[in-house]
């Protein structure tokens, strides 16, 4: 590659970055509007309506009601590969505690994970790409997705429902971003390979024989059995999984059938989750959960395990990551492009990336307010908020990555 080609690429990136910076005010304004009006999964009617209107204004062909409340929008310039750009729209069932001017106006609903920023960056990205004319060497598909945070009555998330409605048909690559409240504004996080965990839930029923607390010898105490099982389960990662293989097992809920101190329980229900980055490790943990629960039978009781399969592991395509990293370095400098370690978070963007090569970047938005300690604004809490100063970076990188991917895909 010649120095001239490096120079040309850098000039293209600088031009897109300048366009994104000009839209920074619009991005922040839209983000704050969405933050004031959050909607829960599969209820994003006003958010979807607003996004559809903006996409139509930008010249996209819009289809509504995809995956129940989602939107897809297509922009084509001749024949060529199609790059999809995804943004999730849903909020969380949390009562906001922030006292900002743009705090949520919807009781017990809040954008506590940055999806308002995702949509805002996506709208600016669409606007930038719509103005590229002949520089656009293929198609762009915007995926405005409902319900990343929850599943419906059948346990299917927004990505799964959009896929069922053919949202990924004809897509050659898919990209997206996620706000990262632990990464400073002005920086992005990126890595190839597994970057977000597969997430699976489980419910364990432990059966014993209840009785009076004064006569424990006549019972099979489900609480004692369950306590032993919990202790054993929490040793799975440290003793059964290789140290180099990241995995998490958590018991988050312990419920006894007894509500009194002098009544020995005949049943305990445990609920938990496990996070993995490898299919073999995922299967191994299931085997070890069953082995740990077999203690119940040794102690005279019984058990049943129910699994709820969650989102698959998100694996970033190396080629797309290389393109995204190159673009990011050109725009914000190598010192601001951080190679992240895999996160224990889980994301249904992985479902899109299982159908076409995909990559997800993390956009820095760590917020610091005078007089408040760091870490006061974590995701999924009532005080979550972001530093908005780097939102233009998300739109700039997504736009230029999409343009450059057209060139890369056409050359294959």
Model confidence at 3, pLDDT cuts 50, 70, 90, reads low
Section 263-269 average pLDDT:
98
Distance between CA atoms of residues 151 and 203, nearest Å:
17
Please give the pLDDT value at position 2.
46
Question: E-strand spans in 238-299?
Answer: 247-256, 263-264, 267-276
388 catalytically annotated: yes
Q: Judge whether residue 300 has pLDDT over 80.
A: yes
Burial 32-63 (b: 16+ CB within 10 A, else e): bebbbbbbbbbbbeebbebbbebbeebebebe
Eight-state DSSP code of residue 220: B
Please pick, among 12, 26, 36, 388, the residue that the annotation labels catalytic: 388
Q: Residue 215: is its pLDDT beyond 50?
A: yes
Catalytic site includes residue 311: yes
Q: Give the active site residue among 102, 207, 311, 366.
A: 311
How far apart, in whole angstroms, are the C-alpha atoms of residue 65 and residue 79?
Answer: 26
Give residue for tokens 């190839």. Answer: 192
Amino acid 397: pLDDT: 98
Q: Each residue of 225-259: b (16+ CB within 10 Å) or e?
A: bbebbbebbeebbeebbeeeebbebebeebebbbe
Taking 3-state DSSP, the helix, strand and coil percentages for the chain, each rounded to the nearest 5, stand at 40, 25, 35
DSSP string, 27-42: HHHHHHHHHHS---TT
The predicted structure's pLDDT at residue 4: 52
Is pLDDT of 79 > 90? no
Q: Which domains does the chain have, with CATH numbers?
A: 3-196+313-410 (3.40.630.10), 198-309 (3.30.70.360)
Question: pLDDT digits over 322-337, tens only?
Answer: 999 999 999 999 999 9
Percentage of residues of the chain with pLDDT beyond 90: 93
**pLDDT grade, residue 198 (50/70/90)?**
very high
Residues 109-132: tens digit of each pLDDT: 999 999 999 999 999 999 999 999
Could you give the CA distance from residue 123 to residue 85 in angstroms, rounded to a whole number?
10
The neighbour count for residue 378, using CB atoms within 10 Å, is: 11
Please check the confidence at residue 306 and state whether its pLDDT lies above 90. yes
Q: What is the model's pTM?
A: 0.93
Q: How confident is the model at residue 1 (pLDDT cuts 50, 70, 90)?
A: very low
Q: Which two tokens stand for residue 249?
A: 């097992």
Mean pLDDT of the chain: 96
pLDDT tens across 176-196, in order?
Answer: 999 999 999 999 999 999 999
């Amino acid at each position: 590659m010649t120095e001239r080609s490096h120079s040309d690429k850098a000039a293209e990136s600088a031009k897109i970055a300048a366009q994104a910076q000009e839209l920074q005010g619009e991005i922040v304004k839209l983000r704050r509007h969405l933050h004031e009006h959050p909607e829960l999964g599969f209820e994003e009617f006003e958010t979807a309506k607003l996004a559809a209107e903006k996409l139509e204004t930008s010249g996209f062909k819009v289809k509504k009601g995809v995956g129940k409340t989602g939107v897809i929008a297509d922009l084509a310039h001749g024949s060529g590969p199609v790059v999809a750009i995804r943004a999730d729209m849903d909020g969380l069932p949390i009562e906001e505690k922030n006292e900002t001017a743009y705090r949520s106006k919807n009781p017990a609903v809040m954008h506590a994970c940055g999806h308002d920023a995702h949509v805002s960056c996506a709208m600016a990205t669409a606007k930038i790409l719509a103005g590229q004319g002949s520089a656009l060497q293929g198609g762009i598909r915007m995926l405005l997705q409902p319900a990343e945070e929850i599943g419906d009555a059948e346990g299917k998330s927004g990505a799964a429902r959009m896929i069922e409605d053919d949202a990924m048909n004809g897509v050659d690559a898919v990209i997206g971003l996620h706000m990262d409240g632990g990464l400073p504004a002005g920086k992005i996080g990126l890595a190839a390979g597994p970057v977000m965990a597969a997430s699976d839930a489980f419910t364990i029923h432990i059966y014993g024989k209840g009785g009076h607390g004064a006569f424990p010898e006549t019972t099979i105490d489900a609480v004692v059995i369950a306590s032993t099982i919990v202790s054993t389960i929490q040793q799975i990662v440290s003793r059964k999984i290789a140290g180099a293989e990241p995995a998490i097992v958590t018991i988050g809920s312990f419920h006894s059938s007894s509500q009194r101190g002098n009544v020995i329980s005949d049943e305990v229900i445990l609920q938990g989750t496990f996070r993995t980055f490898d299919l073999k490790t995922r299967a191994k943990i299931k085997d070890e959960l069953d082995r740990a629960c077999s203690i119940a039978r040794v102690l005279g009781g019984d058990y049943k395990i129910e699994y709820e399969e969650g989102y698959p592991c998100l694996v970033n395509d190396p080629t797309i990551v290389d393109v995204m990293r190159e673009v990011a370095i050109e725009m914000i400098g190598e010192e601001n492009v951080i190679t992240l370690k895999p996160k224990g978070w889980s994301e249904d963007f992985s479902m899109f990336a299982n159908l076409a090569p995909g990559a997800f970047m993390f956009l820095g938005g760590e917020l610091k307010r005078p007089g408040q300690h760091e870490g006061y604004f974590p995701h999924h809490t009532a005080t979550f908020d972001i530093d908005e100063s780097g939102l233009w970076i998300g739109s700039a990188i997504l736009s230029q990555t999409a343009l450059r991917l057209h060139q890369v895909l056409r050359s294959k």
